[in-house]
Amino acid sequence: MTRFIAVCLLSGYAWLAIGSIMLIVAGSLTGAAYDAVLHAILIGFVFSMVFGHAPIIFPAVVRVKMPYHPTFYLPLLVLHASLLARIAGDVLMLAELRNLGGLLNAVALVLFILSTVSSVVRGFRAVEKSR
């Protein structure tokens, strides 16, 4: 679990740096730079942080067990791949690639929700077996 959290946090900081560098290079938030910078920071950084903190915060707030499973990495990988596609679409001025990246951003969020729910279900089953 701690390795997963570290990967989420480090990759989130990487997206924050990428977005910042793109803003410096572009000089302003206009055109394709607007989409690329905002998505690198607001999707890449923010959602990497959400993915990484969820296994700690969610169980503490909702009072359920959320056991780690390697499938936690799938939404994170889809998130990063989709952001790369989206930003490549912005840089190369390919609307189809940018749109595909946007669609895959949504897929990553759905996968995150499914992963979280399945982990909570595994936690409930583990508690029931121990009784």
Domain boundaries, the chain: 2-125
Look at residue 29 in the predicted model and tell me its pLDDT: 83
Question: C-alpha angle 46/50/56, rounded to 5°?
Answer: 150
How large is the average pLDDT for residues 69-83?
97
Mean pLDDT, rounded, of the chain: 94
Look at residue 21 in the predicted model and tell me its pLDDT: 95
How large is the average pLDDT for residues 15-29?
92
Look at residue 31 in the predicted model and tell me its pLDDT: 81
Residue 131 has pLDDT above 80, yes or no: no
Reported as a single tens digit per residue, the pLDDT across 25-59 is 988 888 888 999 999 999 999 999 999 999 999 99
